[in-house]
Structure 1
Amino acid sequence: MYKIILLFVTFFFFLSCSDTKETATHDEKSEEAKRVSQQLSVQTTKIDSAIFQKQTMSNGVVEALQKSELRFKISERVASIHVKNGGFVTKGQVLATLDNAMLENLLERATIDLDKAKRNFIEEKINYGFGGIDESKIEPKKLKNIYLRSGYTEAKNALDNAQIQYNQTLLKAPFSGVVANLESKVGDFVTSGDIFCIIINRKQLEVSFAVLENEIPFLETNQKITVTSFIDEKMHYEGIITEINPLVDRNGLVKIKGSIQKPTASLFDGMHVKIRINKPLTDVLVIPREAVVFREDREVVFTAENGKAKWNYIEILDENSKSYALQKGLKYGDTIIVTGNMNLSHDAKISPTFQVHKEENLHE
């Protein structure tokens, strides 16, 4: 009986030791997992000198350099229209005509009268003894008399006048472009004060916008700009500043104009666009925007030092859509945390991964 009791005591002793060992091992693993989990994963980059693109933003309006409102010079009914809105026309092309049957008849009559005067001119030359002589070799005074006696001068003047009146019934394109705002129809009566249509040269476009007066020191003519349409923000058009109006209006704004290089059919006269002006600043300390967080209503950047996050207050000199230029708070060579920094605290343990930050050309 004694042996049986001893056997049970020994069995329970070994079972207790095994449970204690397993519990200790489990606690050690939990502590290790807790210690590892406290090392927050972050991404870092190193600060270096860079060219910072100082940005000025504005909204503007696209305008055509060549844009003309076309009117007939006389009042009459529209006889024919050869174009439509959006259609491309070339310089000198007839766009529309007015009822001109009477003027056409006058033009034909004047042409006939001039032909008669030419024959009379030849006869008068013969009468003056200059039948076979070139006109350039006839004394100017005598040649003038021959023209007057033959009626040539009067007939030529009448033809020119008839041609001018006839041409006033034809509306021609003053330059190549597209037609806009054509609303008249055949049979409509138009007057000389009515705008028949507008011709726009969409190959030569400029943009007009305004900036605050404190931005003027950073702008100059021939400076590059980027134009973006609100309709398609993926399309960017390069341009340059052509005019800076030397006057500040009552709202503290200065008007600027710039030409758009290589415009496409996507840009319309009167279209509203976004303007971005970049001014390179050299040898400044540049950091990505995502590196900055707010603590106690101030800008803070965390640096990585010996596996820990360090809290640094900063002062921002300027900013653009991708980066900040710093005035103070950090120095060249510092390793800053750019992701995983939203919930960091000072001296928090981190597991950093390095990435490269590069200040790029900004179009977005």
Structure 2
Amino acid sequence: MKKIIWGVVGLVLGLQAGEVYATFTVEAQKSAQLAFNASGIVGNVNIDIGSVVKENEILATLESDDINASLQLAKTQFKYAKKDFERQLKVKHLVDQESLDQYANKYESAKDQVILQQALFDKTILKAPFEGIIFWKELEVGDTVSGALLRTVLKLQSLHARKLVLSFDQKYWKEIKVGDTFSYKLDGDSRQYEGKILKVYPSADANNRKMQAEVHAKDLPVGLFGDGLITTQMK
């Protein structure tokens, strides 16, 4: 029993807490550069820099009277093609197969046309892919956009969720592990913060011989700089 106890004590004493210096920048956990996937003239802009938006909220639209008219026409044609086909199915024992196939083909073609026109109409609407805040905007009513040459018109980032992207010397690549504690300060803020490493990036930068890791945080301004110490368990 004494041997077991001394073995455990020796193992504990063999583990020493180490500290690794790291710098970091604050980034949004989610960010997106938004662009129209269609050509046209901007008809409405519903947001501005600083606007908080919900997922799938409409941010801007292109003028789409012609596309909407084509969509409504396609829906009308589909409605009547469907009625004709269903009517023929009820009396199919009285109709030759060739005629029935023609009605079926007309019905399927009308349905496909609705899908196509709906897809074209949807491309005139720019929606938020997730909840967040608009932090960059280069879009005004009357602007012309091209679907063939995608141009970023809005930038969106997560509202509260942040990540600290840490940079540390590559020689510690064996020591830094997921779950290690990171104690840090932000530039211009004397308070001490703490977080856990959630991700260690798998490669080193050949230019500066640094590796990176990630710690999550909330409500910090994106772009802030800071530094701190990673507490590791090293034998």
Q: TM-score range by the shorter chain?
A: 0.7 to 0.9
- For residues 139-163 of structure 1, the C-alpha deviation after alignment (integer angstroms, 9 at most, x for no partner) is xx99x837525x2111111111110
Aligned partners of 2:165 and 2:215 also within 8 Å: no
Q: State the alpha-carbon separation in 1 of the partners of residues 102 and 132 from structure 2.
A: 48
Deviation at 1:201, TM superposition (A): 1.8
Q: Which has the higher contact order (CA 8 A, sep 6+)?
A: 2
Q: State the alpha-carbon separation in 1 of the partners of residues 207 and 32 from structure 2.
A: 31
Q: State the alpha-carbon separation in 1 of the partners of residues 27 and 122 from structure 2.
A: 31
Quick check: 1:264 aligned with 2:228? Answer: no
Structure 2 match to 1:206? 163
Q: State the alpha-carbon separation in 2 of the partners of residues 95 and 233 from structure 1.
A: 39
Structure 1 residues 259 and 281, CA, compared in 2 at 3 Å: closer, same or farther? Answer: closer
Pick from 135, 152, 162 the counterpart of residue 180 of structure 1: 135
Deviation at 1:237, TM superposition (A): 4.5
Deviation at 1:203, TM superposition (A): 4.1
Q: State the alpha-carbon separation in 2 of the partners of residues 276 and 77 from structure 1.
A: 52
Quick check: 1:223 aligned with 2:180? Answer: yes
Structure 1 match to 2:154? 197
Pick from 30, 53, 66 the counterpart of residue 89 of structure 1: 53
Structure 2 match to 1:298? none
Q: State the alpha-carbon separation in 2 of the partners of residues 185 and 275 from structure 1.
A: 43
Pick from 69, 76, 79 the counterpart of residue 112 of structure 1: 76
TM-score with structure 2 length normalisation? Answer: 0.79
Structure 1 match to 2:195? 238
Aligned partners of 1:124 and 1:146 also within 8 Å: no
The runs of 5 or more residues in structure 2 that have no matched partner are 1-12
- The number of residue pairs the alignment matches comes to 217
Quick check: 1:276 aligned with 2:229? Answer: yes
Identity, % of aligned positions = 19
Q: State the alpha-carbon separation in 1 of the partners of residues 179 and 189 from structure 2.
A: 26
- Aligned pairs for 1:91-170 (under 5 A) are 91-129=55-93, 145=101, 148=104, 151-170=106-125
> Secondary structure of 1:218's partner?
coil
Aligned partners of 2:52 and 2:159 also within 8 Å: no
- Aligned pairs for 1:5-24 (under 5 A) are none
Aligned partners of 2:200 and 2:214 also within 8 Å: yes
Aligned partners of 2:181 and 2:197 also within 8 Å: yes
CA RMSD of aligned residues (A): 2.8
Q: Which residue type is aligned with residue 218 of structure 2?
A: T
- For residues 163-207 of structure 1, the C-alpha deviation after alignment (integer angstroms, 9 at most, x for no partner) is 011011000111222212112111112223210111212444322
Structure 1 match to 2:210? 254
Q: Which residue type is aligned with residue 144 of structure 2?
A: F
Deviation at 1:94, TM superposition (A): 0.9
Q: State the alpha-carbon separation in 2 of the partners of residues 186 and 196 from structure 1.
A: 12
Structure 1 residues 232 and 247, CA, compared in 2 at 3 Å: closer, same or farther? Answer: closer
Structure 1 match to 2:5? none
Q: State the alpha-carbon separation in 2 of the partners of residues 63 and 88 from structure 1.
A: 18
Aligned partners of 1:224 and 1:241 also within 8 Å: no
Which has the larger Rg?
Answer: 1
> Secondary structure of 1:74's partner?
coil
Aligned partners of 2:169 and 2:211 also within 8 Å: no
